[in-house]
């Protein structure tokens, strides 16, 4: 069984954007409770996420964006970037720890051990953190996202671990516009994604670079459409690129129960998809995968889908 890290932070439960907002602290709780109930949490090694540093964030974000995050952070109440993306007094801290979780995950899987505390080599990691990140652009918070967690981690892997090629796989139902904006035409990064189209943020149909392999899916698409996209498009691109580390933007809002979209995936689809990515990682990356939570807003479906994803990560 590959060693898998579970990374989270208490600040993920303190950031919230107002009553009734779908991107709520209950998302993290639901996933953790389900992982515990089905026995998966006990099979993982637990870590608390550090806060990402300014230097780590500024590999993909403008310094001005960090200043705006500090200036907008309220002492009490809420401050909004837009109608959907709102800060409370804990948001800036939670966002730094969410990005820092992916940085730590990279260090764990690349170093093969976690330094002084000898809990053993980590091959994979799942970051159960929020706010999510893949909509955050270099100088803009949007779509529930403040810092682009997966992009911060990928840039860290390239800068600090001397990698030549990393791949980002994004299966959230919404296009990861921020990640694409950060890495378009960067030859050391391949991004492959599926997303419902048309749907927020109304991008991705025309990729910004040759290293962006986007597969828009129409409303109503199901697991068969997913499998076709993966087998016909993703896997050949990944095979040709031969990544040294896989990152997963793990959004579970393509599930048929999710209230914010209209795709029809089920838990078995997430398990199958993750197993395909494990096979790619085993062939090219020494099995190394870093996965971080993005969307998913129907709590029961989110938790069950995340559990299917983690179960697949825990298998060779």
Distances in whole angstroms, Cα of residue 178 to Cα of each of 84, 156, 278: 16, 17, 25
C-alpha angle 113-122-214 in degrees, rounded to nearest 5: 130
Strand order in the sheet with 245-250: 45-48, 4-8, 124-127, 289-293, 245-250, 166-170, 189-196, 212-217
Q: What is the CA radius of gyration of the chain?
A: 17
Residue 230 near residue 276, CB atoms below 8 Å: yes
* C-alpha closest to that of 253 among 174, 310, 179: 174
Is 174 designated active site? no
Where residue 77 falls (left for φ over 0; alpha for ψ -120 to 50; beta otherwise) is left
Bridging pattern class, strands 4-8 and 124-127: parallel
Spot the catalytic one: 15, 97, 135, 156: 135
d(CA 141, CA 23): 15
* C-alpha closest to that of 192 among 108, 307, 305, 273: 273
Task: Write the burial class of residue 280 (CB in 10 Å: 0-12 exposed, 13-18 middle, 19+ buried).
Answer: buried
SS3 of 54, please?
helix
Question: Sign of the C-alpha dihedral, residues 144, 178, 200, 216?
Answer: negative
d(CA 150, CA 98): 9
Distances in whole angstroms, Cα of residue 274 to Cα of each of 25, 106, 228, 246: 25, 18, 15, 11
Active site amino acids: 135
């Amino acid at each position: 069984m590959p060693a898998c890290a579970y990374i989270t932070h208490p600040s993920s439960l303190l950031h919230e954007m107002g009553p009734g907002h779908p991107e709520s602290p209950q998302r993290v709780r639901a996933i953790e409770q389900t992982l515990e109930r089905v026995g998966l949490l006990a099979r993982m090694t637990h870590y608390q996420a550090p806060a990402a540093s300014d230097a780590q964030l500024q590999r993909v974000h403008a310094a001005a964006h960090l200043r705006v995050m500090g200036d907008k952070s309220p002492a009490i109440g809420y401050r909004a970037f837009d109608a959907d993306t709102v800060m409370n007094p804990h948001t800036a801290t939670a966002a730094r720890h969410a990005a820092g979780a992916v940085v730590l995950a990279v260090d764990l899987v690349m170093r093969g051990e976690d330094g002084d505390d000898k809990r053993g080599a980590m091959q994979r990691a799942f970051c159960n953190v929020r706010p999510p990140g893949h909509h955050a652009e270099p100088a803009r918070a949007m779509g529930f996202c403040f810092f682009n967690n997966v992009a911060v981690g990928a840039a860290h892997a390239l800068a600090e671990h001397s990698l030549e090629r990393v791949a980002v796989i994004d299966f959230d139902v919404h296009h990861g516009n921020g990640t694409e904006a950060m890495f378009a035409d960067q030859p050391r990064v391949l991004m492959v994604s599926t997303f419902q189209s048309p749907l927020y943020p109304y991008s991705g149909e025309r990729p910004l670079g040759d290293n962006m392999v986007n597969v828009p899916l129409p409303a109503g698409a199901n697991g068969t459409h997913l499998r076709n996209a993966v087998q016909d498009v993703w896997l050949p691109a990944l095979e040709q690129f031969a990544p040294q580390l896989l990152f997963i933007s793990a959004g579970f809002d393509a599930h048929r129960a999710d209230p914010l979209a209209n795709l029809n995936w089920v838990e078995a689809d997430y398990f199958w998809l993750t197993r395909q990515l494990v096979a790619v990682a085993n062939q090219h990356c020494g099995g190394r995968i870093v996965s971080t939570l993005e969307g998913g807003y129907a709590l029961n479906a989110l938790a069950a889908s995340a559990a299917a994803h983690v179960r697949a990560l825990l298998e060779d």
